[in-house]
Amino acid sequence: MNRKTLISPPVLLVLVMLAAITVVFVIVLLTSSNETDPGMTPDDYNARGAELVAMGNSENGAQLIVSKTCTACHRDEAGSVGPSFTGIVDYAGTLRPGFTAEGYLLESILDPGVYLYNNYSNSMPALGTQLSDQELADIMAYLMTQHAQ
Ligand code: HEC
C-alpha cells in the first residue's frame, strides 16, 4: 500500500468529526428556523402582551408607528411590503395555536421571522427589540384598536 497517497488516520478522524459537526449544525438550523424564541412560550407572550396593552396609550402608538418607520411597510395600499394593520385585531388571536391576539402581536413585533403572515416575505426587521417598553406598549395598544372598518 502506498502510504503517501493515504490520508493519515488522525487527519481522517478530524475530517469525519468536522463533517459530523457540520451535519448536526445544519439539521439544528433547519429544524429551529420555524420555532418560537425558545425562551418564550405562547403563554409568556400572551401574559406579557396583555400587560403591555394594559399600560399602553393607543394615541401615542398611532404616532409611533409612523416615527418608528412601521408605516413604511405597513400600508393600506396594494403593493405594501407588509400587511395593512387595518383589521389585524380581528384575526390576530386566530392564527397560531395557543396565542391570544396580544401574544400574537407581541411575537410578531419582537420575533417577526418566526411566523410569516399570509405568505408575506420574511423582510420585517426586529425593530421591536429597539423600542422601550412604553413605546412597545403604546404600539400594542394602538394595534389592538385596529378592527376592520
Ligand atoms: C421593512 C418592512 C417592515 C417594517 C419597517 C415593519 N414591518 Fe411589520 N411586517 C413586515 C412584513 C413583510 C410582515 C409580514 C411577514 C411577517 O409576518 O413577519 C410584517 C408583519 C407584522 C405583524 C404581523 C402582521 C399580521 O397581519 O399578522 C405585525 C404586528 C407587525 N409587522 C408590526 C410591525 C411594527 C409595530 C413595526 C414598527 C415597529 C413594523 N412591523 C415594521 C414588514 C415590516
CA–centroid distance, 77 to ligand 1, in Å, is 15
The alpha carbon of residue 124 and the mean position of all alpha carbons in its chain are separated, in whole angstroms, by 8
Cα–Cα distance, 148 to 109 (Å, whole number): 20
CA–centroid distance, 29 to ligand 1, in Å, is 23
**What integer is the mean pLDDT of 9-14?**
85
Q: 74 - beta bridge partners?
A: 82
DSSP annotation of 2: -
Instruction: Give the position, in ligand 1's atom list, of the atom nearest the Cα of 112.
Output: 18
DSSP annotation of 10: H
Instruction: State which of 95, 96, 102, 124 you would mutate to test the pocket of ligand 1, scoring each by most atoms of that ligand within 8 A of its C-beta.
Output: 124
Is ligand 1 within 6 A of the CB of residue 109? Answer: yes
Count of CB atoms situated within 10 Å of the CB of 61: 24
Count of CB atoms situated within 10 Å of the CB of 51: 15
Res 147: pLDDT: 97
Residue pointed to by grid coordinates 426587521: 125
Residue 30: band (very low, low, confident or very high) from pLDDT cuts 50, 70, 90: low
The yes-or-no verdict on residue 134 having pLDDT over 90 is: yes
Residue pointed to by grid coordinates 405594501: 80
Residue 113: band (very low, low, confident or very high) from pLDDT cuts 50, 70, 90: very high
**What integer is the mean pLDDT of 100-118?**
96
Residue 4: band (very low, low, confident or very high) from pLDDT cuts 50, 70, 90: low
**What CATH fold (topology level) applies to the domain 42-143?**
Cytochrome Bc1 Complex; Chain D, domain 2 (1.10.760)
CA–centroid distance, 65 to ligand 1, in Å, is 11
User: Which of 31-35, 77-81, 97-101 has maximum average pLDDT?
Assistant: 97-101
Cα–Cα distance, 69 to 35 (Å, whole number): 26
Is ligand 1 within 6 A of the CB of residue 114? Answer: no
Whether the CB-CB separation of 141 and 131 falls below 8 Å is answered with no
What residue type is 40 in one-letter code?
Answer: M
Is ligand 1 within 6 A of the CB of residue 112? Answer: yes
Mean predicted lDDT score pLDDT of the chain:
89
pLDDT more than 90, % of the chain: 70
